[in-house]
Amino acid sequence: MSQDAVAQESTSDGAGASGQLSHRAILTIMTGLLMGMFLAALDQTIVSTAIRTIADDLNGYSLQAWVTTAYLITSTIVTPLYGKLSDMYGRKPFFMTAITLFIIGSLLCATATSMYELAVYRAVQGLGAGGLFSLALTIIGDIVPPRERAKYQGYFLAVFGTSSVLGPVLGGLFAGQSSILAITGWRWVFLVNVPLGFIALVIVYRVLNYDQIRGEKRPLDWWGATALVVGLVPLLIAAEQGREWGWGDPKTVACFIIGAIGVVAFVAVEKAMGEAAIIPLRVFKNRVFAQGIVISVIIGAVMFGAISILPQYFQVLRGSSPTVAGLQLLPMVLGLMSASIVSGQAISRTGRYKIFPIIGVILITVTTYLMHWISIDTPLWLVMVMAFFLGFGLGNLMQPLTLALQNVLPPKDMGVSTSSATFFRQIGGTLGVAVFFSILFSRLGPNIRDEIEQAATTPDFRKGVAEAVASSDPSVAALGKALRSGAGGAGSVLNDTSVIPKLPSAVAEPIKVGFAHSMDTVFLSVSIMSVVAMIVVFLWKEVPLRGASGAQAAAEEQAAELAVATDVVTGSTEPADDKVGKHEADRPYARHLAEDSGDSRT
């Protein structure tokens, strides 16, 4: 191995790669990581509540999906690139690059004059966001041993919890103001990221200093990156736009075909590139890692699917504003945080983690199944209790899953393992949201029509329709006329659900019931997918956690390899296996890695 392959990143605090950082040093570094993660987490929630106002102001309501899709595509594609490059060249420069790109993208978004411009600028923002999550988790993997790492995950989930509550409130506040300091209110949804980003950049520059063992420098896999773009972009576009276009539409079919060709090309290129690949295919030979990736995809679909549907319930059926709906999700956030803290402490004490994904997937399966019985008459407190247990299940899955995937591969692959987990969870989430929303909207029209037809024979409904026709609100009057003429009105409701709270109760009731029945179908579908995840989790093999941090373990491995190489030159007779195995007591994962990958050496 060349000396470049074992070059260490210089530090300002003198901490050695082979020495464990103190709790204070870890918390200092985490300050910068949490600031970076807060930026990305806040952006996900703050934009969601303001996007309708933004689209109306930019005269592009029908184009708002492209704003979300552009951000999603770039953030997903660059995630594995950040992991691979940071393994070779160090974490700090790429984490700072991610923050810088995010700041630039945010500033550009605030200047957008059309939805097309906003989509392009959100793509720039996504280039930065893709590195914020994965690199923060990777860096923690470098400096904290897996067994101790679980104790620190509460800090990260506190960031997610805070942003989940603060984001919708701020988004609604900014979007609701005509102007703030002579700037249109919604533009502050993006401008707020700029000062926060500069603070994060300064903190990261000052505190993110630790010895990282860099991997061997290899040519960048440009062909693999190109094939990844060709494969993912059409598939993500089809997943996001397929419902609008129609799944049999030529545009959707073309996206699937091009995407499939790109994926096949990506696999072929990665196989040819070997260790230089963005995602080396050898990592999937490890059965534990491969199973973990399957779980990540399924859980991503379940998690994002359930989280996307719940706000619809609160806003459409309960009449909550986006801000209030965000606050009503607080029990789920509390459940997620509490489960993470409890599981983190238990994992730190015992070194065992598999029981927590089992608990999590069982809770998610049972809770989503119970949610498919929710109706418009279900007490709100009961729905929020279910949301708590859904969050509690997710909290037992998210961090233990990332922890396990980081632990099962060699420390030199810390960036690859962490970014792969994030990458495939995002892919699963994208597909999950697309599938579950397709189920929702495919059932909405027929269910609402059926409920309206049943209610149309009642005097209360006919009276309500007459009141709607006479309403001074144009949208209410238009819907009333459609119902009176027998046109149904379901289509107009699907295009603008804000009309529902304005309708007379006798007219709104059957529409809400139709929504409730459609959401029931979605939650039942989520629970069925959770059963698949449950099977995979039960079959998943647990690998004992390392007692050393990623940086420590990498330093020990490279020192042992150098010792073996030196013996070859000097003619030492000490068995090489003894030298390589000197730290084996602190690397119980190594034997499992060799067994599961079919390799004979650690």
Question: Where along the chain do its domains lie?
Answer: 1-218, 444-518
| Identity at 186, one-letter amino acid code | W
Question: Cα–Cα distance between 232 and 73 in angstroms, integer?
Answer: 8
Output the pLDDT for position 18.
Answer: 42
Question: Cα–Cα distance between 3 and 276 in angstroms, integer?
Answer: 18
Q: Which phi and psi angles does 180 have, rounded to 5°?
A: -135, 120
Quick: pLDDT tens for 113-124.
998 899 999 999
pLDDT reading at 554 higher than 90: no
Output the pLDDT for position 83.
Answer: 87
pLDDT reading at 1 higher than 60: no
> Which one, of 5, 407, 434, lies nearest residue 247 by Cα?
434
Quick: pLDDT tens for 513-531.
888 888 899 899 989 999 9
pLDDT reading at 324 higher than 90: no
Please, what is the Cα angle at 336 between 331 and 338, to 5 degrees?
90
Question: Cα–Cα distance between 143 and 26 in angstroms, integer?
Answer: 7
pLDDT reading at 99 higher than 90: yes
- 183 secondary structure, DSSP code: E
CA 478 from centre of chain:
40
> Which of 306-320, 486-500, 515-529, 568-582 is predicted with the least confidence, judged by mean pLDDT?
568-582
Span 220-224, average pLDDT: 83
Quick: pLDDT tens for 349-387.
887 888 999 999 999 999 999 998 988 888 999 999 999
Task: Show the beta-strand stretches assigned E in 102-261.
Answer: 179-180, 183-184
Which pLDDT band holds residue 208 (cuts at 50, 70, 90)?
A: confident
- 457 secondary structure, DSSP code: T
Element (H, E) at 354: none
Higher pLDDT, 590 or 177: 177
Span 195-208, average pLDDT: 88
3-class secondary-structure state, position 351: coil
Higher pLDDT, 156 or 85: 85
Contact 588, 546 (CB under 8 A): yes
Question: Cα–Cα distance between 415 and 554 in angstroms, integer?
Answer: 13
Tell me the average pLDDT of the chain.
79
189 contacts: CB under 8 Å, gap ≥ 6: 46, 47, 50, 54, 170, 171, 174, 175
Q: What would the DSSP string read from start to end of 468-535?
A: HHT-SSHHHHHHHHHHHHT---HHHHHH-GGGGGGS-HHHHHHHHHHHHHHHHHHHHHHHHHHHHHHH
Output the pLDDT for position 220.
Answer: 76
Tell me the whole-structure pTM to 2 decimals: 0.75
Within 10 angstroms of residue 379's Cβ, the number of other Cβ atoms is 8
Buried b (16+ CB within 10 A) or exposed e, 24-56: ebbebbbebbbbbbbbbbbbebbbbbbbbbbbe
Q: Best-predicted range by mean pLDDT among 261-265, 336-340, 423-427?
A: 261-265
Question: Cα–Cα distance between 90 and 8 in angstroms, integer?
Answer: 9
- Tell me the CB-side half-sphere exposure of residue 144, using CA atoms within 13 A: 24
Output the pLDDT for position 563.
Answer: 62
pLDDT reading at 8 higher than 70: no
Is 399 exposed, middle or buried, given 0-12, 13-18 or 19+ CB atoms closer than 10 A? buried
> Could you tell me the fold of the domain covering 1-218?
Growth Hormone; Chain: A; (1.20.1250)
